[in-house]
């Protein structure tokens, strides 16, 4: 059984939004071959795109980390490592982004580990890595901080040929086997590695078969957790659109209404922030309740799939160690 509990988390999204029509028009004007029509994109449930206009990437990171680190300090939680992921800005993955936080919270001896390659499945990669870390003896009260942040500086970072990306940041604090928080009962990663050179035939193959990789990850996670699919109250998935969720619902034999979709129109797709944003929204609206079992699924372009089974036990912004 997985021994990771998400004991705290934080999500930051900019207030500014533009309509997807405006975003797609700008993307095409900049010479990007965006192959999804505006009408098709809207029919998939997308409407607005969060655009950061004030904060830089370092400030976005500080915004989501400070509340977690302050609460951790109050509870004497020692940060053992920081894992950082950025799909949009991976060339900026270096310790300079954390200099202010390191000085403010005396984290000079804490390793900062960049996570790459797994695209929008890096959230589940971080859970898997944390689970492995906590399998060995560690100091009581240790935590691992996962951070993800993306801020597009141009249309090439705002999109690929099929998807428009929003700006945002999130962070989660993992601890070993806590009785309160977002308990992770199982966490599975699957890697197919089908698209590594953007060859058109590989991209077509990926989009026609990726659901098979997701299904295998889901089955493995359910088996590991000994939870039946009927016990899952909600599915929090990467915000890839209603058409993808409909396909996955059929393949997984889960009612489509269990896929949480209330952030899709307002926030769109924000890489690894999608899942934490959806969970935070579901808790705030009361749709995710204490003791509920829920599933998280991530799909990373290129053949990376993550699935985890969780149980929501207590408000996660109250650290319990």
**Domain presence at residue 306:** yes
Percent above pLDDT 90 for the chain: 77
| Chain centroid to CA 289 | 20
| Chain centroid to CA 133 | 20
Domain termination residue (choose one: 176, 195, 225): 176
**Domain presence at residue 83:** yes
β-partners of residue 310 are: 184, 294
Domain of residue 101, CATH code = 3.40.47.10
Residues 200 and 98 in one domain: no
pTM of the model: 0.93
Residues 169 and 186 in one domain: no
Q: Which one, of 35, 7, 25, lies nearest residue 198 by Cα?
A: 35
**Domain presence at residue 320:** no
CB-based contacts of 41, cutoff 8 Å, min separation 6 = 20, 24, 164, 241
Residues 109 and 28 in one domain: yes
Encoded tokens for 267: 């926030």
Residues 163 and 196 in one domain: no
Residues 197 and 65 in one domain: no
Encoded tokens for 58: 């370092």
- pLDDT score recorded for residue 303: 84
**Domain presence at residue 278:** yes
Residues 219 and 273 in one domain: yes
Torsion of CA 254, 257, 258, 264, to 10 degrees: 120
Per the CB < 8 A criterion, the answer to whether 241 and 45 are in contact is yes
Domain termination residue (choose one: 157, 176, 195): 176
Q: Which one, of 300, 221, 290, 218, lies nearest residue 254 by Cα?
A: 218
Torsion of CA 97, 100, 105, 111, to 10 degrees: 30
Q: How many whole angstroms separate alpha carbon 168 and alpha carbon 289?
A: 25
- pLDDT score recorded for residue 196: 61
Give the pLDDT confidence of 73-85 residue by residue, as tens digits.
Answer: 999 999 999 999 9
Residues 47 and 15 in one domain: yes
**Domain presence at residue 92:** yes
Domain termination residue (choose one: 114, 144, 176): 176
Q: How many whole angstroms separate alpha carbon 247 and alpha carbon 270?
A: 21
**Domain presence at residue 319:** no
Q: How many whole angstroms separate alpha carbon 108 and alpha carbon 136?
A: 23
What is the DSSP secondary structure assignment for residue 109, as one 8-state letter?
Answer: T
**Domain presence at residue 156:** yes
β-partners of residue 150 are: 168
What is the DSSP secondary structure assignment for residue 296, as one 8-state letter?
Answer: E
**Domain presence at residue 321:** no
Give the pLDDT confidence of 87-139 residue by residue, as tens digits.
Answer: 998 765 566 889 889 999 999 999 999 998 889 999 999 999 999 999 887 77
Residues 129 and 260 in one domain: no
- pLDDT score recorded for residue 316: 46
Residues 240 and 169 in one domain: no
β-partners of residue 149 are: 169
- pLDDT score recorded for residue 203: 73
For the chain, which residues score pLDDT lower than 70? 1-2, 91-95, 195-198, 315-321
Encoded tokens for 264: 């899709």
- pLDDT score recorded for residue 305: 93
CB-based contacts of 278, cutoff 8 Å, min separation 6 = 236, 237, 239, 260, 262, 263
Encoded tokens for 139: 């100091």
Q: How many whole angstroms separate alpha carbon 263 and alpha carbon 303?
A: 24
Residues 283 and 196 in one domain: yes
- pLDDT score recorded for residue 319: 43
Residues 79 and 169 in one domain: yes
Per the CB < 8 A criterion, the answer to whether 313 and 181 are in contact is yes
User: Would you list the DSSP string of 236-257?
Assistant: EE----HHHHHHHHHHHT--GG
Per the CB < 8 A criterion, the answer to whether 72 and 8 are in contact is yes
Residues 122 and 86 in one domain: yes
Domain of 161, in residue numbers: 4-176
Helix (H) or strand (E) holding 100: helix 99-104
Q: For the chain, what is the domain count?
A: 2
């Amino acid at each position: 059984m997985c021994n990771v509990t998400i004991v705290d988390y934080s999500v930051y999204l900019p207030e500014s939004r533009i309509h997807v029509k405006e975003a797609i028009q700008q993307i095409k004007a900049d010479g990007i071959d965006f192959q999804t029509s505006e009408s098709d994109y809207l029919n998939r449930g997308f409407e607005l795109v969060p655009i950061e206009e004030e904060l830089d990437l370092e400030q976005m990171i500080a915004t989501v980390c400070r509340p977690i680190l302050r609460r951790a300090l109050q509870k004497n939680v020692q940060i053992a490592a920081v894992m950082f992921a950025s799909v949009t800005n991976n060339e900026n993955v270096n310790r300079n982004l954390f200099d202010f936080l390191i000085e403010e919270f005396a984290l000079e001896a804490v390793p900062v580990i960049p996570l790459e390659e797994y695209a929008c499945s890096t959230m589940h990669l971080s859970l898997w890595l944390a689970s492995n870390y906590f399998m060995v003896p560690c100091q009581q009260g240790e935590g691992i901080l996962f951070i993800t942040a993306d801020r597009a500086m141009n249309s090439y970072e705002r999109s690929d040929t099929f998807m428009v990306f929003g700006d945002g940041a999130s962070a989660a604090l993992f601890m070993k086997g806590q009785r309160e928080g977002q308990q992770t009962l199982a966490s599975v990663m699957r890697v197919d590695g089908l698209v590594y050179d953007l060859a058109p035939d590989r991209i077509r193959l990926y989009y026609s078969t990726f659901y098979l990789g997701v299904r295998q990850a889901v089955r493995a996670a359910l088996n590991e957790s000994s939870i039946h699919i009927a016990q899952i109250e909600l599915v929090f998935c990467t915000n890839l659109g209603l058409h993808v969720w409909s396909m996955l619902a059929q393949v997984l034999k889960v009612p489509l209404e269990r896929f949480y979709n209330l952030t899709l129109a307002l926030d769109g797709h924000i890489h690894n922030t999608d899942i934490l944003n959806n969970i935070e929204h579901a808790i705030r609206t009361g749709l995710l309740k204490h003791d509920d079992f829920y599933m998280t699924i991530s799909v990373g372009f290129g053949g990376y799939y993550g699935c985890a089974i969780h149980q929501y036990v207590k408000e996660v912004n109250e650290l319990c160690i």
